[in-house]
Structure 1
Amino acid sequence: MTQNPQSLVQEYVQQGIEARTAFFQAGSESVIEVAKLMAVTLVRGGKILFCGNGGSAADAQHLAAEFVSRFEMERPSLPALALTTDSSVLTAVGNDYGFDQVFSKQVKALGREGDVCVGISTSGTSRNVLQALRMGREQGLTTVALLGREGAAIQEHCDYPLCVPAQRTAHIQEVHIVIGHLLCGLVDHFLFEAADQLQPYL
Structure 2
Amino acid sequence: MSNHTQLTRIQAIIQESIQVKQTVLNNPLLMNQVSGVVDAVTNAFKTGHKVQFCGNGGSAADAQHLAAEFSGRFYKNRTALPSDALHCNSSYLTAVANDYGYDEVYSRLVEGTMQSGDILIGLSTSGNSPNIVKAFETARFKNIITVGFTGNGGGKLGELSHFLLDIPSKNTPRIQESHIMIGHIICELVEANLFP
Instruction: Report if TM-score (shorter chain) is over 0.5.
Output: yes
Give the AA of the match of 1:23.
Answer: V
Letter in 2 for 1:67: F
Gaps of 5+ in 2: none
Partner of 1:199: none
User: How far is 1:10 from its partner?
Assistant: 1.3
Gaps of 5+ in 1: 194-202
- CA deviations 1:73-100 (Å, max 9, x no partner) are 1111100011011111111111111111
Q: Tell me, in whole angstroms, the C-alpha distance in 2 between the residues paired with 1:24 and 1:139.
A: 33
Q: What's 1:125 paired with? A: 128
Tell me the equivalent position of 1:114.
117
Q: Judge conservation of contact 1:115–1:142 (CA < 8 Å) in 2.
A: yes
Q: CA deviation at 1:17?
A: 0.6
Q: CA deviation at 1:24?
A: 2.6
- The RMSD of aligned alpha carbons is 1.3
1:70-85 equivalences under 5 Å are 70-85=73-88
Matching residue within 136, 140, 145 for 1:142:
145
Say yes or no: does 1:178 pair with 2:172: no
| TM-score (structure 1 length as normaliser) | 0.92
SS in structure 2 at match of 1:182: helix
Contact conserved, 1:60 with 1:84, CA < 8 A, in 2? no
* CA displacement, residues 38-97 of structure 1 (integer Å, 9 cap, x when unaligned): 010001000001000000000111111110110011111100011011111111111111
Given candidates 97, 104, 107, the residue that maps to 1:101 is 104
String of CA shifts for 1:137-187, please: whole Å, max 9, x gaps.
111100001001111111111111100011111110100000110110010
Q: Higher mean Cα deviation, 24-33 or 49-58?
A: 24-33
Aligned counterparts of 1:69 and 1:49: Cα–Cα separation in 2: 14
Question: TM-score normalized by structure 2?
Answer: 0.95
Runs of 4+ in 1 over 4 A off after TM superposition: none
Match of 2:34 in 1: 31
Of 83, 88, 91, the residue aligned with 2:91 is 88
Q: Which of the residues 20, 35, 46 maps onto 1:43?
A: 46
**Higher deviation after alignment, 25-34 or 99-108:** 25-34
Counting matched residue pairs gives 193
Distance across 1 between alignment mates of 2:22 and 2:194: 27
Verify: 1:15 aligned to 2:16, yes or no: yes
Q: Distance in 2 between matches of 1:189 and 1:181?
A: 12
Residues 36, 163 of structure 2: 8 Å contact kept: no
Letter of the structure 2 residue corresponding to residue 96 of structure 1: D
CA distance in 1, matches of 2:137, 2:93: 18
**How far is 1:36 from its partner?**
0.9
Structure 1 residue identity aligned to 2:179: H
